[in-house]
Chains A and B, each alone.
Chain A
């Protein structure tokens, strides 16, 4: 007996409630934008400069004691957060201290780090500093620029590829789905204030890749069915295609999520934000490739007359996609 996520042949009508899906997506996008606008992202030092120090101690951490010790150093805004993770050992107490960027281009002076380390060692002599990272304001502003360019060029390149392989309506539909996924992911990062750093950009781009993967598989089937069933109308063909690929869509989402969830639980706290972004991206990406990309395609319409596409080349109206 096989485990089947989808029993037999399905025939859901994915577009009967398109207003509902559109409503849900628009609401979520608006919420994300509101959150991004008012609350903003919790940028890591990669993007705003500054220093983070990770401390590790065998005795229980008293955050307010740490704070007292550091406040006298006059280093500006200091954020101390305690870190918990199932992979930690019994007596492994970890905190993360973030110090804002000091004046000048340089990352940090050796004496600043030293003074922080000395101050904390006075509170807890057994304290260790397994990770000290600092990024100067000059580099962080460049990293922001590079990150934005990376995301834009990824979307652009993909738009171009799909346009080459399919039609422009497909490309636009896929990209709408992508933008939807990216906005929602950034929205949730802003809402729950998870640290947004370079690794999250990598996660965003992976979401781009994953969501596309899903969308392309659906579109591939749409293309095939459009050729096969010339008489059926577009919404029927879309529904049929999504139903036919539904089993695969869910299978792949489940295997990917299985892998990601084990990484989230067992992979340690350092990459937790990164993995969280990807889990969220897989969920959103699966949803969007069915509902957003499909609906967009339905709305934009596609050229049905595949067989005659080359014959029309000479006609000066032939290249207008309708």
Chain B
């Protein structure tokens, strides 16, 4: 007969209360948000997590997690960047050249003279060997330089791929090493972007890797995608390179081990060029600090300091090259090329070009955060203004409310008292969705709101199925208790099958979708789970409790 064990009753009520508890902070969204921010900044400032003496007050025993609002509701910028990992392959090869050269030169007797050739594809090192019969030996030498790839997925694989043909030696990174390099490059890029975005200090940015070589960046509250792009799109790759000569004709032929670099100037009319040795003396990775300052002429400049190994390399180089110029290169542009007057042993120095004060402080931020290991191109960008987001929230709220009320009225008119049970369950259902969203820290988007509205419409379905079934069972006059019992029993398989199929599509949407679509799949999926729960447990509990109290001889559904 109609009954439900007290353990079950308590569990059902417990789940409902838990849901309400987690949903609760969202009713005071602005206030709780300010409160959370206050705690966060306080913890950052003085490491004090004592929550009692804040201007914003929120009971400690209540959860303070909120539903995250997606970019389309809050406004902000969204970028999808692809990291140009080939650049890393190429610079690896460039930096290998001196070592390879020295190793091969040592066996000149067998190999003959060597010469670096222009690479036929990006990220290759091509060397011609004058004695063709020595090629086998040359390959052996280079192969001996290969080391195992430092990655768990590539056990035993070597990092170099060496091949030779017709007196020509080709060296490139092996597939396994390329994959490991991609991985490392992406991790570094993520870290550096995070640091740069954090310096600006906005709330909860999303910075994620997507696939093999892409990064998704979402920053709420930032003015535009362009602003975000200039913040993170700059590589800020600083190198100190040896100057071969200064030229004015960019078409002039240069040796493969050297590269052509443009001189940085604001007026791009009379461009100057430098020929520099490609492999740098010291790179920005050896920097420990960079601060904006002014040089002896009172012009804005950037002071920097090397770590010990960088300082040593720099000191050695300057000591050996007194009297000749060296170039400070930022993102492949020569910022300045001062002449070395003295050995610089202290490990610190100053970059001065024709900076403005803003530029020097921006440059020092970028240098401090570190250089991006490779450039990026932006495949997708979106800017959403905060007003549009607010409009969407307002419209969504009104639509939700109207949808809610019309469904509630309709259900009451159709099923009377049972309709009220279903309505209370529906209200709790939506609360539970918000509770779940807050508890797992999911993001609510505009399509997500649509998902909730759709759930409001569809959630009653399970109850409708049950009530219609009870109506049918009442016709075959089995008495009200039996009719309710059988109604629930028989409707169950239809409810489960119908909802599982919808859940399957929600899961597929979640896996395959991105951004707003994913937001929709989350609310749809949660809506299915909570509506099945409320229909087969909660309304049942209501009906049983009511039935126990009233013991009606007959019921009308």
- Chain A residues engaging chain B, CB cutoff 8 angstroms: 2-5, 9, 54, 56, 87, 105-108, 110, 113-114, 128-136, 138-139, 146-147, 149-150, 153-154, 157-158, 161-162, 165, 198-199, 201-202, 205-206, 208-210, 212-214, 216-217, 220-221, 224, 244-245, 247-248, 251-252, 254-260, 262-263, 265-268, 270-271, 274-275, 278
A2 in contact with B414 given A132-B382, A260-B457 (CB within 8 Å): yes
A-B contacts, 9 listed (Cβ < 8 Å): A54-B388, A132-B383, A149-B512, A150-B512, A210-B458, A262-B399, A267-B396, A270-B388, A271-B450
A198 to chain B, nearest CB (A): 6
Q: Is the CB of B377 within 8 A of A267?
A: no
* The one of B446, B457, B494 that contacts A259, using a Cβ cutoff of 8 Å: B457
* A149 shortest CB reach to chain B, Å: 6
From A132, A224, A257, A270, give the contact of B457 (CB < 8 A): A257
User: Do A263 and B392 touch (CB < 8 A)?
Assistant: no
Please determine whether B468 and A256 come into contact, CB atoms closer than 8 angstroms.
no
In whole angstroms, what is the CA distance A103 to B455 when docked? 42
Query: Would A268 and B396 be within 8 Å (CB), given that A108-B381, A220-B497 are in contact?
Result: yes
A270 to B389, CA, bound (A): 10
A266 touches B395 (CB 8 A): yes
Name the B residues within 8 Å of A267 (CB-CB). 395-396, 399, 449-450, 453
Contacts of A263 in B (CB 8 A): 399, 403, 450, 453
Task: Please state if B385 and A268 are interface contacts (CB–CB under 8 Å).
Answer: no
Asked whether B512 lies within 8 Å of A146 as measured between CB atoms, the reply is yes
Measured CA separation A208–B521 after assembly (Å): 13
B460 within 8 A of A: yes
**Which listed residue (A213, A245, A266) contacts B402, Cβ 8 A?**
A266
Known: A132-B382, A262-B406, A270-B392. A202 touches B411 (CB 8 A): no
Bound Cα distance A170, B450 (Å): 31
Whole-angstrom distance between the alpha carbons of A184 and B391 in the complex? 32
| Alpha-carbon distance between A132 and B225 when the two chains are bound, in angstroms | 8
Asked if B170 lies at the interface with its beta carbon under 8 angstroms from chain A, I say: no
Q: Does B154 contact A (CB under 8 A)?
A: no
Q: Which of B140-148, B339-347, B502-510 contacts A (4 or more CB under 8 A)?
A: B502-510
Cβ A110 vs Cβ B229 within 8 A: yes
The interface residues of chain B lying within 8 Å CB-to-CB of A205 are 505, 508-509
Collect the chain A residues with CB atoms within 8 Å of residue B396's CB. 267-268
Contact A255 B450 (CB under 8 A): no
A3 to B464, CA, bound (A): 13
Distance A136 CA – B82 CA, assembled complex (angstroms): 11
Output the least CB separation between A209 and chain B (Å): 4
B interface: dominant SS: helix
> 10 new A-B pairs (CB below 8 Å) besides A209-B524, A271-B447?
A131-B384, A154-B505, A157-B505, A216-B501, A220-B498, A248-B464, A248-B468, A259-B454, A262-B399, A270-B392
Residue pair A210, B502 in contact (C-beta under 8 Å): yes
Please indicate the chain B residues that have their CB under 8 angstroms from the CB of A132 in the complex.
224-225, 381-383
Which of B226, B398, B454, B494 makes the CB contact (< 8 A) with A217?
A: B494
B410 near A255 with CB under 8 A, answer yes
Query: How far is it, in angstroms, between the C-alpha of A108 and the C-alpha of B384 when the chains are bound?
Result: 16
Hey, which chain B residues are within 8 Å of A262, CB to CB?
399, 402-403, 406, 453
Residues of B within 8 A of A128 (CB): 385, 387
Closest to B456 in A: A259
- Secondary structure of the A side of the interface? helix
State the total of A-B contacts with C-beta under 8 angstroms: 236
A110 touches B226 (CB 8 A): yes
A212 to B501, CA, bound (A): 7
**Chain B, range 461-502, C-beta contacts under 8 Å to A:** 461, 464-465, 468, 471-472, 475, 490, 493-494, 497-502
Report A16 CB to chain B, min CB distance, Å. Answer: 24
In the complex, A201→B520 CA distance in Å?
Answer: 11
Min CB gap B476→A, angstroms: 12
Would you call A136 and B379 a contact (CB within 8 A)?
yes
| Minimal Cβ-Cβ distance residue in A for B80 | A139
Interface membership of B380, Cβ < 8 A: yes
Complex CA gap A161/B497 in Å reads 9
CB within 8 Å for A213 and B513 given contacts A158-B501, A259-B407, A262-B399: no
Contact of B464 among A147, A149, A255 (CB under 8 A): A255
Chain B residues with CB under 8 A of A201: 513, 517
B415 part of interface (Cβ distance < 8 Å): yes
Cβ < 8 Å to A, chain B residues 495-539: 497-502, 504-506, 508-509, 512-517, 520-521, 524
Which B residues touch A248, using CB under 8 A? 461, 464-465, 468
A213, A274, A278: the one contacting B461 at CB < 8 Å is A213
A108 cross-chain contacts in B, Cβ below 8 A = 381
- Residue B259 CB within 8 A of the other chain: no
Contacts of A268 in B (CB 8 A): 391-392, 395-396
Q: A252-B460, A257-B457 are in contact. Are A202 and B380 (CB under 8 A)?
A: no
Quick check: A154 and B504 within 8 Å, CB to CB?
yes
Query: Are B381 and A107 neighbours in the complex by a CB distance under 8 Å?
Result: yes
Whether the Cβ atoms of A259 and B226 lie closer than 8 Å is no
Contacts of B391 in A (CB 8 A): 87, 268
Smallest CB gap from A208: residue in B: B505
**Residues in B391-440 with C-beta less than 8 Å from chain A:** 391-392, 394-396, 398-399, 402-403, 406-407, 410-411, 413-416
Residues 78-118 of B, flagged 1 when their CB comes within 8 A of A and 0 if not, give 00101000000000000000000000000000000000000
Cβ-defined partner of A212 (8 Å) among B384, B465, B498? B498
Closest Cβ–Cβ distance, residue A318 to chain B (whole Å): 25
Complex Cα gap A283–B432 (Å): 29
- Chain B neighbourhood of A9, CB < 8 A: 475
> A202 touching B509 by the CB < 8 A rule?
yes
Q: Compute how far the CA of A256 lies from the CA of B462 in the bound complex, rounded to whole angstroms.
A: 12
The distance in angstroms between the C-alpha atoms of A239 and B419, with both chains bound, is 28
Residue in B closest to A200 when the chains form the complex, CB atoms: B517
A residues near B465, Cβ cutoff 8 Å: 217, 248
Docked CA distance A266–B395 (Å): 6
The answer to whether A252 touches B461 (Cβ under 8 A) is: yes
